[in-house]
A = this chain, B = another copy of it.
Amino acid sequence: MAERVGGRDQQETELGPDMYQLMKELFPICRSITGDGLRQTLEIIQHHIPLELHDVPSGTEAFDWTVPKEWNIRDAYILDERGEKIVDFKLNNLHVVGYSTPVDKYVNLSELQEHLYSLEDQPDAIPYVTSYYQERWGFCITHRDRAELKQGTYRVFIDSDLKDGLLTYGELFIPGESPEEIFFSTYVCHPSMANNELSGPVVNTFLAKWIAEHARRYSYRFIFIPETIGSIVYLSRNLRQMKKNIVAGFNVTCVGDDRGYSLIPSRTGNTLADNVALTVLKFKHPDFIKYTYLDRGSDERQYCSPGVDLPVVAVMRSKPGEFLEYHTSLDNLDMVTPSALSGSLELLKDCVELLEANRNYRVTCLGEPQLGKRGLYPTLSSKTSKDSVNDLMNFIAYADGSNDLMAISNTINVPPWQLYPIIEQLKTASLLAEATTR
């Protein structure tokens, strides 16, 4: 159970099982960067939040890229000479190289080998392989199965098609007092893999639901996109508004495992998103791993690219590429736990609450205020009487209008949520004012 912060109810935090249930529902679907599986996924998420769907036709230019043809697949297998299915798409959709062209022919073992992918050092894992931008066909199998293949003739069958169609993505805008936006991105293009990447969409779905429950200072925007081409398409359509409105953004990925937290900073490393994520992680999960921007791997590559330069960080538990199960059939439902999903959701809620609470504060009087007469300071002065009011006095000492709440929190080494009640006390006593919004 995550540590309690702010004024959140206990119930709100116990959504782990519900999130896990949604993940189980989404897991079997064969997603890709286009196609029916992607749309089906977004439609299921629509049962939880009012996602608006956008369709972008194949051939659409997006910066240096072009939206590819739409890919759909119905079935695929390899039959051996006895007619037995030795590889079956219906048992695991990772068996087919993503975007495989249709094929139905007999090949000998040698030709078959040229179309097989396996991992020698993970002999029981089916690897996840795609070929979005070059037409080819192929099958992914465990290295153990591959080693047992015998000379002979095999029938390879892929019932797919690759034709002009649509790239679909989902978007949710939750308006707040301010047109300034907090941006959350996650991707929905991976077939049956759990941590990377159903954990991101699942957690973001429940985060959006929670945000929408209350009036907020900031506006919030969530997008559920195919990785890379999706963020590029989205940026190419919205960049000007994004640069104008987004004050902090989070790419949420690989947040379903139980292995601690990690962060990829933005390219500059000093944005509001960096500060918020670092502050929350430092106080709640001091053992988190802070990667550098050189370790990036997902859509933060686009959000932080030269000229785009959005204040976006990637929040993760195990970083993509850094866990053994990554991009294999081992990244299954066993890798993700309800409590891990719940912890990740709490972390993001903490970030949201801190963003909402963060302001530049200044004390309204010169010198220290006389807190004793307001019941905020011990009236009896003895050797240790200041200890009990240390956080309060330190907050006041730095509330000079030039430091925001986060900066003060880090300077005085007190979690921001521990300062929320202090801020309320001081406001009530008219001793604290906002200096500027940011």
Find the residue from A267, A304, A366 having the highest chain B CB count within 10 A.
Answer: A366
Cβ-defined partner of A301 (8 Å) among B134, B294, B381, B397 = B397
Cβ-defined partner of A131 (8 Å) among B62, B367, B380, B393 = B380
Asked if B294 and A366 make an inter-chain contact with CB atoms under 8 angstroms apart, the answer reads no
> 1/0 contact trace for A310-326 toward B, CB 8 Å?
00000000000100001
Known contacts A134-B372, A306-B401, A308-B366: A382-B327 contact under CB 8 Å:
yes
**A383 / chain B contacts, CB cutoff of 8 Å:** 119, 127-128, 321, 326-328
Known contacts A236-B367, A394-B294: A379-B306 contact under CB 8 Å:
no
Residue on B nearest A393 in the bound complex, by CB: B301
Asked if A294 and B412 make an inter-chain contact with CB atoms under 8 angstroms apart, the answer reads yes
Quote the shortest CB–CB distance from A299 to chain B (angstroms). 10
Asked if A63 and B305 make an inter-chain contact with CB atoms under 8 angstroms apart, the answer reads no
Asked if A370 and B65 make an inter-chain contact with CB atoms under 8 angstroms apart, the answer reads yes
Known contacts A129-B382, A131-B380, A134-B372: A306-B117 contact under CB 8 Å:
no
> Any chain B CB within 8 A of the CB of A157?
no
Residue on B nearest A229 in the bound complex, by CB: B370
Asked if A381 and B236 make an inter-chain contact with CB atoms under 8 angstroms apart, the answer reads no
**A98 / chain B contacts, CB cutoff of 8 Å:** 381
Quick one: which of A91-138 are within 8 Å of B by CB? 97-98, 117, 119, 127-134, 136
Quick one: which of A268-309 are within 8 Å of B by CB? 293-294, 296-297, 301-302, 304-309
Asked if B381 and A132 make an inter-chain contact with CB atoms under 8 angstroms apart, the answer reads yes
Known contacts A326-B383, A379-B134: A367-B308 contact under CB 8 Å:
yes
**A363 / chain B contacts, CB cutoff of 8 Å:** 305-307
Asked if A133 and B400 make an inter-chain contact with CB atoms under 8 angstroms apart, the answer reads no
Known contacts A127-B382, A131-B381, A328-B383: A267-B397 contact under CB 8 Å:
yes
> Any chain B CB within 8 A of the CB of A9?
no
> 1/0 contact trace for A230-243 toward B, CB 8 Å?
01100110010000
Give the number of times this chain occurs in the complex, counting copies: 3
Find the residue from A232, A293, A307 having the highest chain B CB count within 10 A.
Answer: A307
Q: How large is the interface on A (under 10, 10 to 19, 20 to 34, 35 or more residues)?
A: 35 or more
Q: How far is the CA of A129 from the CA of B66 in the complex (A)?
A: 75
Asked if B381 and A302 make an inter-chain contact with CB atoms under 8 angstroms apart, the answer reads no
> Any chain B CB within 8 A of the CB of A399?
yes
> Any chain B CB within 8 A of the CB of A373?
yes
**A369 / chain B contacts, CB cutoff of 8 Å:** 64
Asked if A232 and B367 make an inter-chain contact with CB atoms under 8 angstroms apart, the answer reads yes
Asked if A133 and B373 make an inter-chain contact with CB atoms under 8 angstroms apart, the answer reads yes
> Any chain B CB within 8 A of the CB of A147?
no
Cβ-defined partner of A235 (8 Å) among B65, B232, B306, B367 = B367
> Any chain B CB within 8 A of the CB of A362?
yes
Asked if B64 and A306 make an inter-chain contact with CB atoms under 8 angstroms apart, the answer reads no
Q: How far is the CA of A373 from the CA of B411 in the complex (A)?
A: 49
**A412 / chain B contacts, CB cutoff of 8 Å:** 294
Known contacts A400-B307, A412-B294: A117-B235 contact under CB 8 Å:
no
Q: How far is the CA of A373 from the CA of B66 in the complex (A)?
A: 10
Known contacts A362-B306, A382-B127: A301-B117 contact under CB 8 Å:
no
> Any chain B CB within 8 A of the CB of A150?
no
> Any chain B CB within 8 A of the CB of A163?
no
> Any chain B CB within 8 A of the CB of A48?
no
> Any chain B CB within 8 A of the CB of A386?
yes
Q: What are 8 A-B contacts with C-beta separation under 8 Å?
A: A65-B367, A97-B380, A231-B367, A232-B368, A302-B368, A305-B363, A305-B368, A306-B397
